[in-house]
Amino acid sequence: MPYERLVAHLSDPSGTLPVVCLPDGSVDILCHVYDGGRDRVSSRKEFGRRISTGAIRSVRLEEYDRQPGGQAVNAARQAHALGDEVTLFGHLDHPLLTFPFETYSMGPPAEVTVLSFDRTDLMFSREPPDIDGWSFAELHENEAPFRGRIERAGSVCLANWVSFRELMPTMRTLATYDIACPVVLDPGDLSGSVEQDIEELRDAMAHLDETCPVVLSANGGELRALAKGLGVTQDARPERERDLRAALDIAGVVRHDEPAALSATDDRLGGGMARVENFDARSITRRTGAGDRFTAGLAHALGSGLDPEAALALGNACATYFIENGATGTREALAAFLAERPAPGTDD
């Protein structure tokens, strides 16, 4: 069983590697939502219903926490918790975005207001005006440390392409480096992406994949949007991820959803199709950022040479632990979590 194999890996303190993450960052303002009176709106569905019907004309937000955020930041924090030697290149010019690992800031972060409901969140992002002008030039100012960290990395996490479209020329530059590790890309919410942008993203990933194995990690909705942009069949056949990987011409495509995680990889990463059922969360503390924890677990496992099933299992464990606890799971915490929980699909 893949989860059982992970316990031994997590219990071995030597099983760590250098990891590089880039390029975003945010300050997440967590809020509960109240109607015009004192009643908390606990469901996103109910919130939408009340707005659409005009039942409420104003809402009151009650802030209860501020946390570091951003896809690259969240992945870096998970990689660090796994014991990896992390370098984060991000938008970190804020006192909250201070971490116990090596960082290089390229500007101010986004501000994200997170409306917290019982089972899910709704996010409103306000990006700094210079985000649209971000380019590889910001990395170039630190190119010596950047290139050095990339070329010795055990895995690389690229994130939030939907906000940082200049990741495409950045990937073309990375293709000129001497990279020997997997590069995992979580593109962000692809639903509003146009066909031309998706085609350009495919070309950039395929170009980088000629240098090192590239893996796309996304949820089901994001992959459907990507498949639509590429003209890949939308049905629910088990081969859908395999067809999408072939259309992208990269080493792997991974889908992470609540019921299970699936992957289609080429021979460089184990080859074939894999599916690993996920845990049922016993409680929900926070969902925003769980997918980024999955991506970091996936990148750690692939960079460590674990098989595709074990890589999906580690991603699932990192994500579920975060959902239940609202905290990033360390190696020790994840090993204990796996040791005491029956594997999905087995009896308690």
pLDDT the model gives residue 237:
59
Question: DSSP state, 141?
Answer: T
Cα-to-chain-centroid distance, residue 246: 22
pLDDT the model gives residue 55:
80
- Spatial contact of 174 and 150, defined as CB atoms under 8 Å apart: yes
| Extents of the domains making up the chain | 2-28+68-340
Q: How far apart are the first and last CA of the chain?
A: 16
Instruction: Give the integer Cα–Cα distance in Å for 320 and 281.
Output: 6
What is the maximal distance between C-alpha atoms in the chain? 60
Query: What is the secondary structure of 241-307 as a DSSP string?
Result: HHHHHHHHTSSEEEEE-SSEEEEEE-GGGT-EEEEEEPPPPS--S--TTHHHHHHHHHHHHHHTT--
pLDDT the model gives residue 345:
73
Residues 141-196 have pLDDT tens digits of: 666 788 999 999 999 999 999 999 889 999 999 999 999 999 999 999 887 777 78
Residues 89-135 have pLDDT tens digits of: 999 999 999 999 999 999 999 999 999 888 788 889 998 877 777 87
pLDDT the model gives residue 35:
82
Assigned token pair, 120? 């899910």
Instruction: Give the integer Cα–Cα distance in Å for 315 and 2.
Output: 11
Phi/psi of residue 311, each to 5°?
A: -65, -45
- Spatial contact of 84 and 103, defined as CB atoms under 8 Å apart: no
pLDDT the model gives residue 140:
63
The CATH H-level (homologous superfamily) assignment of domain 2-28+68-340 is Ribokinase (3.40.1190.20)
Three-state SS at 63: strand
- Spatial contact of 297 and 164, defined as CB atoms under 8 Å apart: no
Who contacts 49 (Cβ-Cβ below 8 Å, separation ≥6)? 55
Q: Quick one: which of 302, 293, 286 has its CA closest to 31?
A: 286
Phi/psi of residue 265, each to 5°?
A: -130, 160
Instruction: Give the integer Cα–Cα distance in Å for 88 and 219.
Output: 23
Q: Which residues of the chain have pLDDT under 70?
A: 140-143, 234-238, 347-348
Beta bridge partners of 125: 112
